[in-house]
Amino acid sequence: MAVFGNKNKTYDLTGIKVPVSLGVIMDGNGRWAKKRLLPRSAGHRAGAENLKELCRNCGNYGVKYLTVYAFSTENWSRPEDEVHQLMELFVEFFAKYDPELEEEGIRVRFTGDIASLPEHIQKVCKEGEERSMHRQKMQLIVAFNYGGRRELENATKLIATKVKNGEINPEDITEKMISDHMYLPDVPDPELIIRPSGEMRLSNFLLWESAYSELWVSETLWPDFGYDELTQAFRDFANRDRRFGGLSAKEKEGKA
């Protein structure tokens, strides 16, 4: 039985098949704030604090790639001051918590249409990635100005340019080639996607990569989503029958 402790938590890995690659849609900040009669910005702040906790827990559980949805290509449609607050919170998070991420051995990467972000945000992304390249325990991949359709649009343009330049023929295009033209081709597809706050949708998150992801939704709002629920999600994931269009292991053995 593999049990170990870290800062008053016990990570009990018995019976838990932890996903190597995990996606989390950090939703529900607004509702969390509303319940407390606070402005939405307070919810976003609480959500950012909770990300630090998720990183620590995932790192200690043995997750290798944690992709979190922080700002979608559709989130620009929110009021200007909310968008501004989210951008500034993003800058603040990495300024404030990078030493802790360093201590935890967490490398930071970004996925999304980063080139369209304001210059100072792009700088935070670049510096955060460079500063953390050597960290080995886990990769935190922040989906910022991310949209699954935007990512596919980008991949299509890259491939179409290669066809136009005569580097490849249309018949050479394969699923593998499309995967290789996603923003971060070396990051494995998420085995599990967790969405707090109850919505049963992907909201444009990792559309290509989530083809066979297990989905796990909880009613808890993101700022309240903690260690116990993460543990429950992993336990449920370990019991899922992932068939990938084939037969389950039991059926293959003729036992079902």
User: Which residues of the chain form contacts with ligand IPE (CB under 6 A)?
Assistant: 25-31, 69-72, 75, 86, 197, 199, 201, 203
Q: 36-64 as b/e, with b when 16 or more CB fall inside 10 Å? A: eeeebbbbbbbbbebbbebbbbbbbbbbb
Which CB atom, from 27 or from 191, has the smaller least distance to Mg ion?
A: 27
Asked if residue 32 binds Mg ion (CB under 5 A), the reply is no
71 contact choice in Mg ion, ligand IPE, none (CB below 5 to 8 Å, kind-dependent): ligand IPE
Strand ordering across the sheet containing 138-146: 106-111, 138-146, 65-72, 21-25, 192-195, 214-217
The strand pairing partners of 144, in sequence order, are 71
Check if 27 is active-site.
Answer: yes
Apex 151 CA angle, 88 and 185, nearest 5: 100
Q: Shortest gap between Cβ of 120 and ligand IPE (angstroms)? A: 19
CA distance 158 to 154: 6
Q: Shortest gap between Cβ of 183 and ligand IPE (angstroms)? A: 16
Asked if residue 191 binds Mg ion (CB under 5 A), the reply is no
- Catalytic residue, from 27, 29, 50, 145: name it: 27
Asked if residue 71 binds Mg ion (CB under 5 A), the reply is no
CA distance 244 to 212: 7
The neighbour count for residue 157, using CB atoms within 10 Å, is: 11
Which CB atom, from 11 or from 71, has the smaller least distance to ligand IPE?
A: 71
- Catalytic residue, from 29, 50, 60, 75: name it: 75
Q: Shortest gap between Cβ of 152 and ligand IPE (angstroms)? A: 17
Q: Shortest gap between Cβ of 193 and Mg ion (angstroms)? A: 15
155 contact choice in Mg ion, ligand IPE, none (CB below 5 to 8 Å, kind-dependent): none
- Report the residue from 27, 189, 191, 209 that binds Mg ion according to the rule CB under 5 A: 27
199 contact choice in Mg ion, ligand IPE, none (CB below 5 to 8 Å, kind-dependent): ligand IPE
CA distance 32 to 44: 9
The neighbour count for residue 238, using CB atoms within 10 Å, is: 14
The strand pairing partners of 231, in sequence order, are none
Asked if residue 189 binds Mg ion (CB under 5 A), the reply is no
Which CB atom, from 11 or from 97, has the smaller least distance to ligand IPE?
A: 97
Check if 75 is active-site.
Answer: yes
Which CB atom, from 159 or from 233, has the smaller least distance to ligand IPE?
A: 233
Asked if residue 33 binds Mg ion (CB under 5 A), the reply is no
The neighbour count for residue 168, using CB atoms within 10 Å, is: 14
Tokens at 93, concatenated: 């998070």
Q: Which residues bind Mg ion (CB under 5 A)?
A: 27
What are the residue numbers of the active site? 27, 75
